[in-house]
Amino acid sequence: MERYEIVKDIGSGNFGVARLVRDKLTRELFAVKFIERGQKIDEHVQREIMNHRSLKHSNIVQFKEIQVLLTPTHLAIVMEYAAGGELFGRICNAGRFSENEARFFFQQLISGVSYCHSMIADVWSCGVTLFVMIAGAYPFEDPDDPKNFRKTINRILAVHYSIPDHVQVSIECRHLLSQIFVENPEKRITIAGIKSHPWFLKNLPMELMEGGSWQSNDVNIPSQSTEEVLSIIQEARKSVPYPNTVTHLIEGNMDLDDLDAEVEDVETSGDFVCHLSS
């Protein structure tokens, strides 16, 4: 990790911490996810790394050529830096998006999900994201009692949602949402169905169309071999003793005490990261 210098913290969660770093030679920026060595390096982490490293899509954050490294205390995953920030943060700043802007981001989201061959369960999540972008609120919260979690659960089970009266939404968009928010997964619209829906197809960028520039049989071919990555992951599973006070993550520049300080709490599963164009 000697070749990188720290710029700032960019997120944290159950997995550990993410930091923005700069390559000292190229000055290129990267995001590095640090996961504590030992028990946290489980089969889920290994599966995420091995699956993600082969993905090649304009709307999915890419792994760097050298993707995984070991520090004395952490496994470091080096990834492309998505400078546009969190979609949720952008929605919060804007309040809500216009329908055209929401469609622009939704098209990218569906394109990335489709590329990953995700199952139908992702359709519901994509629908929630679309609703939040358009309405500036979650679809199943009671507008009069939004913090009542029990009411929210009951509304989800009943598929009870409504678009606020002050939000102007086209008939086509309302129809798509009604096809997404269907209780029976077998009757719910599929990703393929979304991609052929008139609302989705409107102003669809050329590169996202079937046969577009991103669609090829190419995959990422990083410089690290599969065997090398697996070896590093196996080594990272070994717990290493270290002081509870200060632990250096990158040659004395990254202190463990700093990890919980002044870091934005960003929830992320790490399963799918969508890289949205601005």
Taking only the tens place, the pLDDT of each residue in 2-34 is 778 888 888 787 777 888 888 888 898 888 889
Mean pLDDT of the 215-224 span: 56
Q: Is the pLDDT of residue 274 over 50?
A: no
Please determine whether the domains at 4-83+218-258 and 87-208 fall in the same fold group of CATH.
no
Taking only the tens place, the pLDDT of each residue in 222-250 is 567 888 888 888 888 887 765 443 344 44
Mean pLDDT of the 134-139 span: 93
pLDDT (0 to 100) of residue 252: 37
| Dist CA 100 CA 106 (whole Å) | 10
pLDDT (0 to 100) of residue 253: 43
Q: Give the other-Cβ count within 10 Å of 275's Cβ.
A: 18
pLDDT (0 to 100) of residue 197: 97
Structure tokens at 209: 């169309």
In the chain, the N- to C-terminal Cα span, in Å, equals 30
pTM above 0.95, yes or no: no
Q: Is the pLDDT of residue 54 over 70?
A: no
DSSP assignment, residue 55? -
| Dist CA 74 CA 69 (whole Å) | 9
Vertex 10: Cα angle to 6 and 13 (nearest 5): 120
Residue 5 one-letter amino acid: E
Domain locations along the chain: 4-83+218-258, 87-208
| Dist CA 258 CA 261 (whole Å) | 5
Structural domain 4-83+218-258, CATH architecture: 2-Layer Sandwich (3.30)
Range of weakest confidence among 4-8, 9-13, 37-41, 168-172: 9-13
Vertex 137: Cα angle to 131 and 143 (nearest 5): 120
87-208 adopts what CATH topology?
Answer: Transferase(Phosphotransferase); domain 1 (1.10.510)
| 217 class by beta-carbon count within 10 Å (0-12 exposed, 13-18 middle, 19+ buried) | exposed
Binned at pLDDT 50, 70 and 90, residue 48 comes out as: confident
CB 36 within 8 A of CB 248: no
